Amino acid sequence: MTNSLDRIFIKDLLVRGIVGIKPDERANRQDILINVTLWADTRKAGVSDAIEDAVNYRTAAKAMIAHVESAAPQLVEKLAADLMRICFETDPRIEAVELTVEKPGAVRFSRSVGLTIYRTRAEVMGAAPSKE
């Protein structure tokens, strides 16, 4: 499916939020690093040069930032699943998403610990991809 689609990416989105199970993780905001690849057909926007024909990655980024700043999941897996759903909700043209959530410095002697997930719209939203 993704072979005929283009990739839009948001790289190194650094947000502060609550995620974790330890008492200090529940009490203190920590850095959360997010990388996202959105698969969508960008040909129409490439021809028209019109924002309404493009996937607005800024809208997706702002929604993810708001969620990280307001939610407080215990697991990185839950945060990643929430952010994945947000990406699909921001634009029906997004057909697949790969998303990485990292907690820099979460494990001593490591730069970062995280999770990468990949899902299609059908897997997350329970419907077939839109054909615009």
pLDDT in tens, 32-74: 999 999 999 999 999 999 999 999 999 999 999 999 999 999 9
Q: Which sequence spans correspond to the domains of the chain?
A: 2-107+115-124
Given a contact cutoff of 8 angstroms between Cβ atoms, the answer to whether 76 and 112 are in contact is: no
Report whether pLDDT(2) > 70: no
Given a contact cutoff of 8 angstroms between Cβ atoms, the answer to whether 13 and 34 are in contact is: yes
pLDDT of 107: 87
Tokens representing 54 are: 């493009």
- The kind and range of the H/E element at 96 are strand 96-104
Query: What average pLDDT does the structure give for the chain?
Result: 93
Q: What is the pTM of this model?
A: 0.89
| CATH code matching the domain that covers 2-107+115-124, chosen among 3.40.50.300, 3.30.1130.10, 3.10.20.310, 1.10.760.10 | 3.30.1130.10
Tokens representing 62 are: 């702002």
